[in-house]
Structure formats: structure tokens, C-alpha cells
Amino acid sequence: MLKGVITVMLQPNVLDVQGQAVQGALKHLGFESVEKVRIGRQIEMILPTEDREAARLQLREMAEQLLANPVIEDFQIDIQEA
């Protein structure tokens, strides 16, 4: 069994309103030096296979078809032992 992790982040040129708000709040809390806060999603799942290549392919398809929105988001795939 493998654990697939897909990390979805907004593309660099898309304004990250949420990231901005969090950055403001962090500065307010005294973390003044923090810059470029960006917020994304992490999707984890268990895949009942040992074949890492097959898993990677599947995860890529899932990301492209559903988990990331190609208009505004990029994604990264990571595979670990479950």
C-alpha cells in the first residue's frame, strides 16, 4: 500500500487573497518578517498498490481531472510508504 500526497498551490501570478490575509494576521501577531505567504491544499490518500509508477500515473490523472484547477493552480505529487 502506498500513500499518495498531492499538493495543490495557486499559480504564482494568481492573487492569493487568503495568503495575504494570513500574512497580515501573522504580522499583527508579531511575526513581522514573514513574506510571500501562500495557501494551498494537500490531499492525501491510500492506494492499494506497490507499484510506484502506476500510482504516480493515477495521481497525476486525479489531479488533472479533479483535484487541481489548471486555470489557476499547479500541483505536485509525492508518494510514500503507507
Residues that bind a second copy (CB under 8 A): 7, 9, 19, 22-23, 25-26, 29, 31, 33-49, 58, 61-62, 65-67
**39 within 8 A of 72, measured Cβ to Cβ:** no
Residue with grid cell 505567504, as numbered in its chain: 37
Nearer to a second copy by Cβ, of 12 and 71: the residue is: 12
The answer to whether 79 and 1 have CB atoms below 8 angstroms apart is no
Cell numbers representing residue 44 in the block: 492525501
7 interface partner picked from a second copy, other proteins, none, CB below 5 to 8 A per type: a second copy
Let me know: does 52 contact 59? Beta carbons within 8 Å: no
Verify binding: residue 29, other proteins, rule CB under 8 A. Answer: yes
Residue 28 C-beta: closest distance to other proteins, Å: 7
